[in-house]
Structure 1
């Protein structure tokens, strides 16, 4: 994946994207009984289309298919050159049981999260095909489940199947592929009708229109026009912790409920919901800015307060399509004093899945959950002050001058100068690249001052961007013989790209300890079986359902095992 530029993207190594097919309208076909899920999506829907297949027949790629690390070869395709002079190579992995989005639950979310986790080091980005009915819920859930995410995960679907003559599936999938393959947006996103939304900000607004989704309280992260994709970099969330990618999978929505307040609702109705066995959290859809009827003797408030005393977390979100919950009116103030958490401008989907996520965390308490429900974890709610990064508004020569100054400061190990430049230019500069495609993080990977590398990582520098030669910061640090730099990058979730491994393995024969620290399987090299894969040749007529013979391998992901 190449670093995006605010005027033009430089050509660089092609991105590898895994398309995960979970089901939904987008991959359906006609049958005598109506539309039904269709298998062989790559062969039937993508291979015949010139916009998805340049005819180069790039051969098969490995996909990890289970927790044991078993790998199978799947056919891949390559897109024609984009307006950024880049190509995307991708393969399709279909779930054995295609899921109906109207009945998907935490089990389905876990299956998606684990598939991403297993293949995290093999791919630059992920596109998930999903039905539209519960797409906003899945986007929100995954945004919390995928912790310390450093790569794009884009969900999309369609209102009409791709195999239909008139459809929105083609543009939605192609747009998702282009964004995933060209822009380092390390978030769970939803792409629909030429717009890229933050996943936990989106909600479905139409059952039939092509513009089926909107993000009423947050502007799109990107918009695709006839000329190019315009990314609003100042809105993109980036990792701010030196931790590696991991997943939290034991969400259970049976412990939470959602209840919509309506005129005349009786306190006994609310009380009955709050006394359901196993209930630990409730999302309350209130009027306007967070109001609910008090009733005679304020009975409704008493029911809510009693439940909170029993340890149930209650979160208030507005029934309105846009706006925020704020205790500015007396009824809303009463709820706040009773202990109801103001969900601010979260969608119902985000509030429900966030509540499930927080309740599933180890050592969670009602107090800690209530505290974090009111705090932005993944950009799901608006806070008054947020750390942002953006591309510069100035002219190109000024940008080049500042980037060059940053390069000199990094090379000299001058932390004070680095901080001065970032104070003026803010964090956009960490996502920019010089003529060789090197970002400041690439430069810091070989800097004599380890503190500069740490500073960039803590301010959102991406460890996954590759320069024009296809090299990651981790590869450069290992090549320079800097074990401390390698260790810090690995701690931040860095891994060698699949394209770098052959060269890295050659280096490892001379410096095994250092390159093992960088992630090379030195023991496998000694045994002489590294990379030996037996399986199909990946021809398109072999299908894409995982019928090929596979190889039992290992996934070198630094994060802890899925829960």
Structure 2
């Protein structure tokens, strides 16, 4: 009887998926040291001590990649995160990857990783974080990390292979996600695309939009890991002075401009506040100018009105229904691959990870 019980225990352990947790800083992976000061967890034992229920669902490895506030992360960190993920996928050791990340720039890192891994991905990858530390009463950290593990284990069963953001009770495609609140527990949304899955008391329910695992072998050497950090993003407002834009264009440090436009793609085009000459000059200098909308869930239709039409005629590029995070990250990604301004719009509107409607 004892021997049979031991066999059952060994079989149960063998059936648990192995998940790699990559620590990227942020509130969720903070644990108290001996003096009660919150610091990033250094080992999986520290994290599992705070959430012992995780052991019932999977076995874990842990690696700390970064220990800074997420507002201090930059494109070189996106490269590091994507490189670690790609090598973990290729190794075949893991059935899923979980990134513990700060919330402020989680959508940027998650989008970047999704572009690098692309359609060749064959295991699920999820980013999560929290608004409160794990040790805080009423925290969402435990809730989010437990639900993320549940999402990943269900995704493994269904052979879902997406880079996702799991937060509160929704599962979002990473490349469609944005942070929508600095304080609410429901801090992330995907206004231009439906959630990939819902979380409730009955479990995880994936929708048909969720992508299945690629049957082709994944090779890290096939991935492009780099991002060009010389992308300038500007929020257009009434009275914006063109001289500022001219200074940026001629600085020699700007490789692309992303203009968060007024309306569905309109750019000031009248009198001394007209930005049309700036767009023309940038285009002549082979600095692509991409027009996006600041409306959450919006789509650029720059040709609908005169000011937007003038911007397009001057050489500006539309960005479809890409959200502003995805526009920035994708332009940086494409420039690093050497994509020329003449082909940037075509490449920008061609999906890499489901980030734009084809």
> Shorter chain as normaliser: what TM range?
0.7 to 0.9
1:236 aligned residue (187, 206, 210):
210
Shift, 1:88, TM fit? 2.3
1:120-170 Cα offsets, whole Å, 9 max, x none, are 221111000000111111111111122322221101100011122321111
Contact 2:123 2:213 (8 Å CA) reproduced: no
Identify unmatched segments of 5+ residues in structure 2: 1-13
Is 2:323 the counterpart of 1:350? no
Is 2:62 the counterpart of 1:92? yes
Shift, 1:370, TM fit? 2.5
Distance 1:373 1:250, change over 3 A: same
1:37-85 Cα offsets, whole Å, 9 max, x none, are 23245323323544223xxxxxxxxxxxxxxxxxxxxxxxxx2xxxxxx
2:238 aligned residue (263, 270, 274):
263
Shift, 1:257, TM fit? 0.8
Is 2:127 the counterpart of 1:158? no
Shift, 1:270, TM fit? 1.6
Q: Quote the residue 1:211 is aligned against.
A: 186
Is 2:85 the counterpart of 1:116? yes
* 1:118-517 to 2 correspondences below 5 Å: 118-120=87-89, 121-147=92-118, 148-183=120-155, 184-233=159-208, 235-238=209-212, 244-246=218-220, 247-253=223-229, 255-296=230-271, 299-326=274-301, 327-361=303-337, 363-383=338-358
1:422-443 Cα offsets, whole Å, 9 max, x none, are xxxxxxxxxxxxxxxxxxxxxx
- Aligned-residue CA RMSD (Å): 2.4
Shift, 1:33, TM fit? 11
Give the distance between the partners of 2:145 and 2:71, measured in 1 at CA: 21
Contact 2:126 2:163 (8 Å CA) reproduced: yes
Determine helix, strand or coil for the equivalent of 2:193: coil
Give the distance between the partners of 1:275 and 1:245, measured in 2 at CA: 40
Runs of 4+ more than 6 Å apart = 31-35
Q: Quote the residue 2:74 is aligned against.
A: 105
Shift, 1:238, TM fit? 4.9
Give the distance between the partners of 1:15 and 1:127, measured in 2 at CA: 12
Contact 1:125 1:180 (8 Å CA) reproduced: yes
Shift, 1:35, TM fit? 6.3
Shift, 1:364, TM fit? 2.3
Q: TM-score, normalised by structure 2?
A: 0.87
Distance 1:259 1:302, change over 3 A: same
Give the distance between the partners of 2:35 and 2:278, measured in 1 at CA: 48
How many residues end up aligned between the 2 structures? 336
Give the distance between the partners of 1:110 and 1:126, measured in 2 at CA: 16
Shift, 1:242, TM fit? 5.1
Determine helix, strand or coil for the equivalent of 1:47: helix
Distance 1:100 1:325, change over 3 A: same
Give the distance between the partners of 2:298 and 2:226, measured in 1 at CA: 31
Contact 2:44 2:60 (8 Å CA) reproduced: no
Contact 2:161 2:214 (8 Å CA) reproduced: no
Distance 1:33 1:104, change over 3 A: farther
Q: TM-score, normalised by structure 1?
A: 0.56
Distance 1:350 1:103, change over 3 A: same
